[in-house]
């Protein structure tokens, strides 16, 4: 199991239809571009608090 450390916190805006705007500097740090696919995991702690974890999907390997 991988252990990650928090680098920083930032705010994102939830817009019309639940769209999330990821700030440009955060997209640059993560290395995502327009059209990329992101994976999302929803986690819940024992108190019922939920959070989303988002990361870039690994590109498919060409054969």
How do the domains of the chain map onto residue ranges? 13-56
Nearest CA to 33 among 41, 18, 22? 22
CATH classification (class only), 13-56: mainly beta
Residue 59: its pLDDT value, please? 67
Residue 10: is its pLDDT beyond 80?
yes
Q: What angle do CA 22, 20, 24 make, to 5 degrees?
A: 15
Residue 63: its pLDDT value, please? 63
pLDDT tens string 26-62: 999 989 999 999 999 999 999 999 999 988 887 666 6
Residue 22: is its pLDDT beyond 70?
yes
What does the DSSP 8-state code read for residue 31? Answer: T
Residue 50: its pLDDT value, please? 94
Nearest CA to 58 among 34, 31, 28? 31
Nearest CA to 53 among 35, 33, 30, 34? 30
Residue 3: its pLDDT value, please? 81
């Amino acid at each position: 199991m991988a252990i990650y450390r928090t680098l920083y916190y930032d705010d994102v805006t939830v817009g019309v239809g639940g769209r999330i705007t990821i700030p440009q500097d955060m997209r640059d740090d993560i290395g995502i571009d327009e059209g990329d696919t992101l994976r999302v995991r929803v986690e819940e702690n024992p108190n019922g608090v939920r959070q989303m974890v988002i990361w870039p999907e690994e590109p498919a390997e060409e054969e």
